[in-house]
Structure 1
Amino acid sequence: METKIILASSSVYRRELLKRIVSDFAFISPEIEESQRDDESPIEMALRLSEEKAKKIAASSGNNSIIIGCDQTAVVENTILQKPMTYENAFKQLQFLSGKVVKFYSAFCVLNNNNQTVISDYSEFEAKYKLLTDDLIDKYLKKDEPYFCVGSIKSESYGITLLESIKNDDPTSIIGLPLIKISKILMDENII
């Protein structure tokens, strides 16, 4: 019986990324509580949430499956950025991020339901935001509506225009699914 791969994410962009290396997979939104715990670092938070997402989907997916959970956190000036959820919050967040460097952590968890192995890791990158005018912020938010995105930006879309530079080792980690590391794990498991 062929192993079923499931992406524990509702992100269309992450689905498009996974299609680069896996031709047939399911995707299910895990719907978990995503708030930060006391004394939890951004890396710890992203790793925990990616594992919780994978485990939630694994509980109902059967033995012959591999679940990929993922999460992304971001920090600037020792503050973990939250998903803005509204236009107003996104506007304030982008005003705050104007001209600043933000560290993003894209964590993932590959859970093999056949043998119950769990492999978690993350990739990090820095994004330097341009100096943003209120007019530019307003125009961007109305175009991309990134209200469920950490850092109020969809860098895979029009949001790239808000950035001055990005430093990282895996361009796919920007979208929250580090394919270089994930593909190695799936190759080691003889999945791809």
Structure 2
Amino acid sequence: MSELSFTAAAPRVVLGSTSPYRRELLSRLRLPFEVAAPEVDETALAGEPPAALARRLALAKARAVADRHPDAAVIGSDQVADLDGRPLGKPGSHENAVAQLRLMRGQTVIFHTALAVVCRDRGFEEIDLAPVRVRFRQYDDAEIAAYLRAEQPYDCAGSARSEGLGIALLEAIESDDPSALVGLPLIRACRMLRAAGVKIL
């Protein structure tokens, strides 16, 4: 969808996420924004590919919050790690994190970060996907244990907190939107918010 020219006042911005990582990233744009919990079931559908899951959930989150805030430009985002077509979500526990990190060592994992912006009053809806290719090195179990003690990344997709000590587990990151791996692709967010009528600069 191309950027539109609006004569009405710019919509307020609502982040449809309770993630502290996404709040911190969005605050970098120095825009006033509110936060609302999307309350969306994040269970994957049977046979649903990781990229499709991320897109569906990002749009569902944005739409759910936009239903309650129709005058706002609502941002929804979701991230799913993809190991050879196998989705890796948030581990939720130490044991699951160990298992994920063992699976990923020496592998290339694609982190699919989907972003959606919905503004009901303006009839605006857009979604995009920011894939990030991450190559993990051949770390050992002692390094996994040290990393998990330090970071406890149990709320991060694939147990990967690249903005912290998790960077020591990696060999390379390939992305056209650097903040996507942390959870909110800001280049895409800027483009979509401008298209929705939000002035950023």
Residue from 43, 49, 52 that aligns with 2:51 = 43
Change (3 A) 1:31 1:140: farther
Identity of aligned residues (%): 35
For normalisation by structure 2, the TM-score amounts to 0.89
Gaps of 5+ in 1: none
What amino acid is the match of 2:102? Q
Match of 2:180 among 154, 173, 191: 173
Equivalent position to 2:194, from 181, 187, 190 = 187
Give the root-mean-square deviation of aligned CA atoms.
1.4
Determine if the alignment matches structure 1 residue 144 to structure 2 residue 148: no
Q: Distance in 2 between matches of 1:78 and 1:148?
A: 21
User: Given residue 123 of structure 1, which amino acid in structure 2 is its aligned partner?
Assistant: A
Alignment of 1:95 with 2:125, yes or no, is: no
Q: What is residue 68 of structure 2 aligned with on the other side? A: 60
Q: Confirm whether residue 27 of structure 1 aligns to residue 28 of structure 2.
A: no
Distance in 2 between the 1:7 and 1:22 partners?
13
Give the secondary structure class of the aligned counterpart of 1:172. Answer: helix
Cα deviation for residue 171 of structure 1 reads 0.4
Q: Aligned partners of 1:82, 1:123: CA distance in 2, in Å?
A: 16
Cα separation, 2, equivalents of 1:29 and 1:160: 29
Cα distance change of structure 1 residues 132 and 29 upon mapping to structure 2, 3 Å threshold: farther
Contact 2:78 2:113 in 1 (8 A): yes
Distance 1:145 1:31, change over 3 A: farther
Deviations 1:7-47 (A, max 9, x none): 11112121121122242001122232212112322111111
Gaps of 5+ in 2: 1-8
Q: TM-score, normalised by structure 1?
A: 0.93
> How far apart are 1:49 and its partner, in Å?
0.1
3-state SS, counterpart of residue 30 of structure 1: coil
- Measure, in 1, the Cα distance between the counterparts of 2:75 and 2:81: 20
Runs of 4+ with >3 A deviation: none
Q: Is the 8 A contact 2:134 2:170 kept in 1?
A: yes
- Equivalent pairs, count: 191
Is the 1:94–1:132 contact (alpha carbons within 8 Å) kept by the matching residues of 2? Answer: no
Partner of 1:6: 14
Residues 2, 167 of structure 1: alpha-carbon distance in 2 compared, 3 angstrom cutoff: closer
Letter in 2 for 1:153: A
Amino acid of the residue matched to residue 54 of structure 1?
Answer: A
> 1:129 matched to which residue of 2?
136
Aligned partners of 1:89 and 1:120: how far apart in 2?
A: 30
User: Which residue pairs with 2:112 in the alignment?
Assistant: 105
Q: Contact 2:124 / 2:196 at 8 angstroms: preserved in 1?
A: no
Q: Is the 8 A contact 1:126 1:167 kept in 2?
A: yes
